[in-house]
């Protein structure tokens, strides 16, 4: 691990906050001086019988902070004129419980068990955390040094290990939303971690496909996909000793890249020191290529696919999915009827062409 110390405190409403410090300085604990109300109860999960999927209903998220001015950003270090979520006057990487979580362990006492006989209801037991990559409000992940990227990876591995051991957690999902086009509500460089109470639909599909491939061939599906992409090379953006970045042959988004370790591991905690060190330079290069495509900051979603906690864990293969909804300098891909209503994606850019453009991007 690159961080020299890990210090946990409690905010004034009881939520946990953890500092991941890159220097082993004498620790000073700064109190949260705000008077916050108790955190909201967890969401309600309702089961959709038509799709056999769970949907979270979290009405308290309607009141979450939306695009505050820079001098009132809750993710910036505390200052005399404004106290946000982080009490310290400076920090390296910080993780804390989301004030407006989609999932938590705070179950309301009057939780109902069904809406109709076909729609059971259960509490959304899990956890949602915010990950601040830097105290610099005007920065971006692509501007971080590789050493800071390593600290972020170590922090995500720390949280993945801890959250995976919590009762009821099915999968731990770290991700970053970047750009107003994506729908961010805070401009400060940050990501999130969802500890899901049930296996998400995309993961269920991936597990089913991996299981069928294993039964048919005796091989791991993602291992075979990665080997095929590396051998073909037409969609590879870059690689090093431990990682390869490539555009999937059946990419759904205009610009979509998978970044995968060459060694099959289930999740971030399983990465070696060498693999963690090698990730940062390649990922930073990829993000800068995204920004260089159209000479402007690229909106994107960066999503870690990790193995589930329970049944099917052996089928998981850690990889990062990075994609953008921008398809041209002045055009966005909106999910219209085919994608939103039926889940049938239509990509506007041939994946091989997208790979070529990313390789050529400055």
Contact between 261 and 297 under an 8 Å Cβ cutoff? The reply is no
Contact between 86 and 96 under an 8 Å Cβ cutoff? The reply is yes
d(CA 327, CA 329): 7
252's tokens? 């759904």
Instruction: Go through the chain and tell me how many residues it has.
Output: 362
Contact between 29 and 17 under an 8 Å Cβ cutoff? The reply is no
d(CA 220, CA 253): 25
d(CA 130, CA 127): 10
295's tokens? 């000479």
Buried b (16+ CB within 10 A) or exposed e, 50-64: eeeebebebeebeee
Return left, alpha or beta for 209; rule: phi > 0 is left, psi -120 to 50 is alpha, else beta. Answer: alpha
Contact between 198 and 325 under an 8 Å Cβ cutoff? The reply is no
What are the distances in angstroms from CA 10 to CA 3, 109, 208?
A: 20, 24, 41
The CA radius of gyration of the chain, in Å to the nearest whole number, is 21
Of 285, 262, 289, 301, the closest CA to residue 355 belongs to: 289
d(CA 184, CA 92): 22
Backbone angles phi, psi at 245, to 5 degrees: -110, 125
Tokens 């979520």 label which residue? 85
What are the distances in angstroms from CA 187 to CA 131, 192, 247, 323?
A: 13, 13, 28, 19
Q: Which of 47, 188, 190, 213 is catalytic?
A: 190
- Annotated catalytic, 190? yes
What residues are annotated to the active site? 190
């Amino acid at each position: 691990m690159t961080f020299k110390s890990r210090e946990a405190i409690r905010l004034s409403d009881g939520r946990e906050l953890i500092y991941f410090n890159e220097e082993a300085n004498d620790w000073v604990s700064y109190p949260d001086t705000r008077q916050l109300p108790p955190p909201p109860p967890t969401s309600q999960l309702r089961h959709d019988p038509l799709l056999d999927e769970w949907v979270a209903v979290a009405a308290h998220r309607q009141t979450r902070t939306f695009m505050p001015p820079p001098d009132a950003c809750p993710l910036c270090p505390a200052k005399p004129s404004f106290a946000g979520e982080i009490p310290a006057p400076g920090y390296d990487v910080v993780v804390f419980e989301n004030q407006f979580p989609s999932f938590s362990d705070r179950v309301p006492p009057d939780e109902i068990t069904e809406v109709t006989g076909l729609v059971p209801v259960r509490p959304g037991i899990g956890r949602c955390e915010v990950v601040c990559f830097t105290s610099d409000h005007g920065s971006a992940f692509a501007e971080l040094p590789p050493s800071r990227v390593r600290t972020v990876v170590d922090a995500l591995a720390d949280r993945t290990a801890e959250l995976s051991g919590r009762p009821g957690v099915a999968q731990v999902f770290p991700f970053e939303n970047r750009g107003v086009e994506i729908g961010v509500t805070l401009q400060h460089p940050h990501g999130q971690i969802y500890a899901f109470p049930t296996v998400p639909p995309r993961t269920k599909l991936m597990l089913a496909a991996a299981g069928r491939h294993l039964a048919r061939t005796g091989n791991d599906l993602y291992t075979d996909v990665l080997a095929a992409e590396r051998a073909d090379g037409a969609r590879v953006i870059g690689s090093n000793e431990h990682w390869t970045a490539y555009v999937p042959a059946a990419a759904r988004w205009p610009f979509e890249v998978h970044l995968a370790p060459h060694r099959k591991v289930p999740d971030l905690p399983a990465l070696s020191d060498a693999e963690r060190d090698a990730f940062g330079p390649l990922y930073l290069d990829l993000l800068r290529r995204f920004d260089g495509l159209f000479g402007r900051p690229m909106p994107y979603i960066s999503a870690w696919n990790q193995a589930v906690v329970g049944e099917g864990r052996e089928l998981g293969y850690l990889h990062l999915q990075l994609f953008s909804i921008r398809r041209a300098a002045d055009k966005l891909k909106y999910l219209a009827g085919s994608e939103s209503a039926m889940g049938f994606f239509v990509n506007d850019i041939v994946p091989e062409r997208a790979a070529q453009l990313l390789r050529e991007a400055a």
